[in-house]
Amino acid sequence: MNKTVLITGASSGIGLHFSHKFAESGHDVILVARSEEKLRSLAGELESQYGVKAIVVLSDLSKPEASKRLYDEVTTQGLQVDLLINNAGFGLFGEFEQTDVSKELDMIQVNITALTELSKYFGKDMVRRKQGKILNVASTAAFQPGPLMAVYYATKAYVLSFSEALANEWEPHGVKVMALCPGATQTGFSNVAELESSKLFQSGVMSVEEVVEAGYSDMMTKNKTVIIPGFKNRVLTKTIRFIPRKMVTNIVRKVQERI
């Protein structure tokens, strides 16, 4: 039986492609983002192209009350979320003393707080039903500190640690929790984070289609807790364990500097 999937940050990038992937596979989708025009257009496209039900829920997850309102709206409509994709998130590039603290606090709210709340609200229902899956979008940034993106890297380290812990807690209850950890990916993320001119994004990135295909395949068919798309990314995340932490941090700094 096909499931209902809730996807945050569904209007662009990884979230947009996950929306198409799940709808193509016959799943109904609950699309969550801030942009009504983009979501309405996407919902219409998914319904006409794949014959599934696409529900639009507008939500700005940078607002403290947004996650609870999202959960309440979904449950009030009598919708059951079988799969949760916590994809919404963004980054910010720059030296910490110069970056905008309000943007960083919004980042923490979206990348950490909203993800945690939505995992709590929908996860409790999954535990009660003894089935469900949660995919939290982290990053290869989760595996090391990130000078020039200090807050972003720290938020993704939280997402990875949180996901691994929940996976252990909820496995006996039939609920699978996974962390998707892509490396640099060609989405709108780099524009928002002001990273287009960094060495990281100039040195080659994965396509969003490759990332979503890997994430979907492992989420639906394998029993992995940590999903790292791309051979190079998997090698890098394993290699840094054997390099002194200070050296890793210096390397990340050099990679992230603008050309």
Q: What is the pTM of this model?
A: 0.91
Supply the pLDDT for residue 203.
Answer: 54
- pLDDT, mean of residues 247-259: 86
Active site residue 152: yes
Which residues does residue 134 pair with via DSSP β-bridges, in sequence order?
84, 177
Q: Kindly state the percentage of the chain with pLDDT values over 70.
A: 92
194 CA to centre of own chain:
19
Q: For residue 1, name the pLDDT band (cuts at 50, 70, 90).
A: low
The sign of the CA dihedral 177, 44, 59, 104 is positive
Q: Whole-angstrom Cα distance, residue 168 to residue 70? A: 26
Supply the pLDDT for residue 189.
Answer: 56
Supply the pLDDT for residue 229.
Answer: 95
pLDDT in tens, 217-249: 999 998 899 999 999 999 999 999 889 989 999
Q: Does domain 4-256 match CATH 3.40.50.720?
A: yes
Supply the pLDDT for residue 199.
Answer: 54
- pLDDT, mean of residues 31-59: 97
State the Cα torsion 71-76-81-85 to the nearest 10°.
-30
pLDDT at 118 exceeding the cut of 60: yes
Supply the pLDDT for residue 20.
Answer: 98
- pLDDT, mean of residues 54-71: 98
Active site residue 156: yes
Q: For residue 193, name the pLDDT band (cuts at 50, 70, 90).
A: very low
pLDDT at 8 exceeding the cut of 50: yes
User: Which amino acid, residue 122?
Assistant: F
Structure tokens at 112: 């950490």
Which residues does residue 135 pair with via DSSP β-bridges, in sequence order?
85, 178
Supply the pLDDT for residue 2.
Answer: 78
Averaged pLDDT score across all residues of the chain = 93
From the list 3, 21, 156, 176, the catalytic residue is 156
Reported as type and span, the H/E element at residue 20 is helix 13-24
Supply the pLDDT for residue 192.
Answer: 52
Domain limits, the chain: 4-256
From the list 71, 152, 153, 216, the catalytic residue is 152
- pLDDT, mean of residues 50-56: 98
- pLDDT, mean of residues 99-103: 98
